[in-house]
Structures are given as C-alpha cells and as structure tokens.
Structure 1
Amino acid sequence: MFPLKSILRCPGSIYIQTLRCISVSPPKSRLRNESVSVNIFDRNTKTLQRQRAAIADDVNLYDYLKDEIGFRLADRVFDIKRKFKLAADIGCNRGYVSKHISPESVEELIICDVSQKNLDMVPVMEGIKVRKQILDEEYIEFKSNSLDLVISCLSLHWVNDLPNAFHKILDSLKEDGVFLASLFGGDTLYELRSSLQLAELERKGGLSPRISPFTEVRDIGSLLTNAGFTMLTIDTDEIVVNYPSVFELMWDLKGMAESNAALNRSIHLPRDIQFSAGAIYQQLYGKTDPETGKTSIPATFQVINMLGWKPHPKQPKPLQRGSGEVSLKDLNKLDEIVREVRTIKDDKS
C-alpha cells in the first residue's frame, strides 16, 4: 500500500455528479424469497472492523465521505417541519448525522452503535437529551410504538436480513413516525469492481466477487412497502471522489471500515492482480489534470436515500384510480387548462 499522506485532500476532490429522483410511490412488485435470510456478511468480523477503525489514531482522515452524507441526511430531517420527542440513530458510528441534528427538530436522541468507542466520541448539539445504547443493526430491539423518528446513515448495507430490519424499525415507530436512512447502492465502486474483474480474468482466467454486494434502488421500495411503510420517497446521489491510484482508494475504504473483510468467504487478493487492476483502472477511468499534469482515478459512491412513514388514519390517501380530470396526453396544454379552470371559477363566483 502507498503512504496515506500522499492522498489528495484538496477542496473540490469530492463533488456531486448527478442527483435524480427515482421513486415517490411504492412499487407493486414483490421480491421473491424476501423472507429468506442469507448470511453474506460476518457480523462479528464487521464489529471488530468498526471497533478497530474507531481506535485508529488517524480516524479523522477517513470521515470526509460519511460526514458529507451525514450532513445531507440531517438536512432532510430539518426539512420535516415537526419536532420529534424521541429519535434513534441506528449505526451512528462517529455521529455523522447526530452532530448535525438541531434541538429544534429533536428533543431526545438515542445514539446506537456496536462500538462503545464510537458512542463516546459522538458530538451532539446542546439542548438535546442523549442516551447511548450498544446495538447491532442486525438485531434491532426497541419497545413497540416508542420512537417518533429513526435515522440511519451508511450502516444498513452491512445487514444480512434487511427486510427484518425494516420490520423491526416500523414496529418501534409510533403511528405517523418517520424513517430516514442512507445506504450505499448497487452502482457504488463500479469502476473498482470492473477493474478487478478484468484483472482477474487476465491473470486467473476466472472471476471472484471482490466487492461487497449492495442493494439495488429498485428493491428498496419493495422492501419498505412490504414492511408496511407508506408515502415513500426514494432518490439517489452519486458522489465521485478522486484518488491518486487504486491503492489509496482501497486504503481509505479500510480506514472507513467499508472494506470487504466482513464477507463470509476468502478475500485474499494476490499482489499481481492488485497491480493489474490498478493499471486497468487508470487506463479505463483515469484522468489527467491539464494544468498540473497529475493523474487521478474517480471512485463513484451511489447513495440511496429513503424516507418512509408508519401508517396513520389521518395521513393523505391517494385518489381512486380513474378519478383524474386531465389526461397525461394533454400535459403540453397545461397552461391553457389552468386558465380555463380559473375562468370557470370566476364565472361561478
């Protein structure tokens, strides 16, 4: 591995590539065998990995990505014009969301993580009551109908039984309670995945999964709907981070506790495949700064943002099918239709 100090930390090295709305209504399709849990991740290994990262002397160097995503998630909490009496941050890590939560939005906050070291380092704004709880996201346990808000930032993509986790979260929420979360999606690190696959094909003549599997955007809506959430909103951010080479990228993933060490399989990556993947990565995706002549590689992180509500009788209900008064084919005439409606109303008045 190359020295960490050589990693670029200049402003602008992290930027938003695209933001697109994926879904604002629950899909009707159901996932097959969604009740079957497959243990892809070793939770004990993941716990040790996160605890080791928490006690590292240079842990602050790796917070740049999760800090950005946590800030955006906290901003979504602030957008909900309501003061939540009791909220829980599941998998809070080093407080990437909690430190941005305003006392105007939350009265009391339960911060939960598998590492006591992380819990001890979480900063929270003055005016918010804080409770600390050791909790594994694989085994979410709260009293039924006890929480007004549940948030989670970049921890649920390591859960083996995501449908069960969503069911547990729904059960813990009060009626009309809110669930807000962000997790890495299927397009995350697609450059690294393809480079490793090509390198392994070249050297070994076969493929091994080297990148942890991520949940696809199309599946999140079905999982939330089947769990019982309503009024869903799902969208994605794509954040691109530039690194000098593939080695700095993999080093940072380890420092973030996001490496694939928790996978239930052999993850040994031979040195020749590492160097081959680095060369392929540079050839396919590398960029050169025309002013300085320095080269870098982009790494894409797809972040799936989700919002769901626990059902309540007073929540808005969709209109019955066929009750619309304007055809979609007439959308190009929307201004004329609005003027006609206003004219009719003025005549009646």
Structure 2
Amino acid sequence: MSFSVTDDKSGVHMEHHQHPDAPVLNKSVPVRHPGRWISAIIILAFVAVFLQSLFTNPNFRWDIVGTYILDVKVVQGVGWTLLLTVASMVLAIVLAILLAFMRQSDNPIFRWSSWVWVWFFRGTPVYTQLVFWGLIAVLYPKISAGVPFGPEFFSLDTAAIVNATVAAILGLGLNESAYLAEIFRAGLKSVDRGQQEAAEALGMSKGKIMWRIILPQAMRVIVPPTGNETIGMLKTTSLVLAVPFTLDLTFATNALANRTYLPVPLLIVAAIWYLVITSILMVGQHFIEAYYGKGVDNLAPAAVNPAAAKAAGPGADAQRSMKTDFPEESAR
C-alpha cells in the first residue's frame, strides 16, 4: 500500500509505502451499546402509554381543569402561596445567617444556643409546629412587657398580633431556619482558613474579609441547597391548614373540589400551578448558580494570551496542536 503527499508551499512530492501485512492505524470501530437502545425504547413506550392515558381517559376531566385553572380563588391562592413562601424564606435566611455565625463563635453560650435551636426545630415535625403557632393565643392570651415578678408596663392581645398569616409565616420560617443554618455553616466552613489568615495579615477588617473574601466563595456551596429549600418551602405551604390558614392554593383547590365533587381535576389544577412556579424558581436558581460559579464551574477552555504563546515558541504550538488533534495521545 502506498500514497503520495505534495506540500503546497515547497512543492516537494513525498511518497509513503506501507507493508501489505502492516496493521491499519486509526481504523476505529465504534462501541455498540445495545442496552442503551433497549432502555430508550422501554422508556419511550412508557411515555407513549402515559400520554395516551392522559388524552383518552375521560376521568381526568380536562374540561374542568381548563375551567378552573384561572379561577379567581385559584389565582388568589397562588398569590398567597407565593407570599407565604417569600416571607417565610426571608425570615429563615435572616435567622439562619445569625445562627451560622453563632455556631462558629468563640462564645460557648452562642454555640450551644444555636445548636439547641437547630436540634429542636429539626427534630419536631413542621405540621406540629404549625399547630402550636395556631394555638399560641391559647397558651399566651396576652403579650406583656415589664419587670419579672413586678409591675407590667404594657400588654397586647396575642390573637390580634399573631393572626393566621403571621402564625403560618412564623411556623414555616422558624422551622426552615434550622435547616438553612446548617447549609450556611457548611458553606462558610468550605472556604479555606488560610484565606482569612492571609486577609488578616494584609490588615483587612473582619467585616470586609467576610463580605469580600469568604461569602463570595461560600455562596457557590450555599446557593444550590438553598434553592432546593425554597422549592421545598413552596410545597410545604400546603400544610398551613394546620394553623389554620385557608387562603393558600391547596386549600382553594380542595374547597372547589368539595363543592363540585370532582377532586381529580382540581388536584391537577393545583399540580399545574405548583409545576409552573417551581420551574420559574429552578430557572432563577440556575442563573444564580452560574453567577457564583464563575471560574469554578465553567468548563470552557481558558483564553490564550497571544504574546505568551508567541514567546513560548513553536514547541508550544506543536504541543497545543497535538492536544487538539490527538486527545488520546495527549492524555497518555
């Protein structure tokens, strides 16, 4: 076997002869994966059967779904669900930041107080806590301030302050703060201690070190689980009936289902709204993760400095070409 090559610049004609019995190089045979095709066919078959049942089963009552998907009560329930989610997460984040710093404090009282808080609110069910906050006016009819065992300066009616909305936000936010506190603590501990020591050696204040050095790196660890907790909070709002709070999306659809005696289509209405809101939150989480993951999660190749490449000489170009054209050889 022989072949010839002519250089366009020099015009030199070269011939290469290969022995007939020599093995042919670079004749790769793609690896076959029959298991992948079989798995894909099985999954597609299940999807086709599921879609057929959705469109052909009359018990889903898609006409009822279309009627109530934009019902006034349902839309108001979506608004209240979003309000509970945002307010509870804001309260939880503020408390979690405080608890995370207390957990890392040199003061043993701060450390143990933070630990007890996390232990209690993670160890009891959120439903039980919501019931407790719904009954807070029974336990404490009045909120007063004064000298212990002495005169009372003022008192307020608890039922007037801690209404159903406030009780739902307190129950959800305090419970979530225990989980977020551990997430924030893990994020702060993920930053190497040496960076803080180096910043202190440069004369930076502790606040500036935390704001400019520690937090930007810790956010890469904090954001993904916090986004998951936010999505979980959105769905946990369906438990606020324990307060009782009767304006959220789940209660609104359940009330319509009890009135129409059609629970399945109203459950589908609630599921569609939860899926829409969750999808929007996931998109926002993706962009926040991409922002704080710059330089770490970015898999794009680094830009080549032309001046440095020219100074490196032709050897660097040849090595770079080998890595691009023959990645297997480069890996070896």
Normalized per residue, the structure richer in strand is: 1
Q: TM-score, normalised by structure 2?
A: 0.26
Higher relative contact order (CA 8 A, sep 6+): 1
Between structure 1 and structure 2, the one with the greater Rg is 2
Normalized per residue, the structure richer in helix is: 2
